[in-house]
Amino acid sequence: MYLTTEVKKQIFKKHGGAENNTGSTEGQIALFTHRINHLTGHLKNNQKDYNTERSLVRLVGKRRSLLDYLKKKDIVKYRELIIELNIRK
């Protein structure tokens, strides 16, 4: 499985401050980015998997809304996160 509890803890420890701070905006954006990258790789091999494609579009929308929220709250953290996670826009 691509997303184990150890990987989640590492993501939240790096971006959320603590590994059990799962509600932080930065941690959730990082987790969504990890999942989006995995689904993108899956769709490169399976172009006709429309359920995964729909899930990917929904995840991108959720991440976009969290990024918009972070941009309103703290523009400096937003810019740092965009650069660190290599997200366009």
Q: What is the pLDDT of residue 78?
A: 96
- pTM score, whole prediction: 0.92
Residue with tokens 């959720």: 62
Euclidean distance between CA atoms 10 and 45, whole angstroms:
27
Domain annotation for the chain: domains and CATH numbers: 26-85 (1.10.287.10)
Q: What is the pLDDT of residues 16-67, one digit of tens each?
A: 888 888 899 999 999 999 999 999 999 999 999 999 999 999 999 999 999 9
Could you give the CA distance from residue 36 to residue 56 in angstroms, rounded to a whole number?
A: 6
Question: Who's near 67: CB < 8 A, 6+ residues apart?
Answer: 29, 78, 81, 82, 87, 89
Secondary structure class of 21 (helix, strand, coil): coil
Q: Report the pLDDT value the prediction gives residue 16, as an integer from 0 to 100.
A: 87
Give the residue among 88, 18, 30 at the shortest CA–CA distance from 59.
Answer: 30
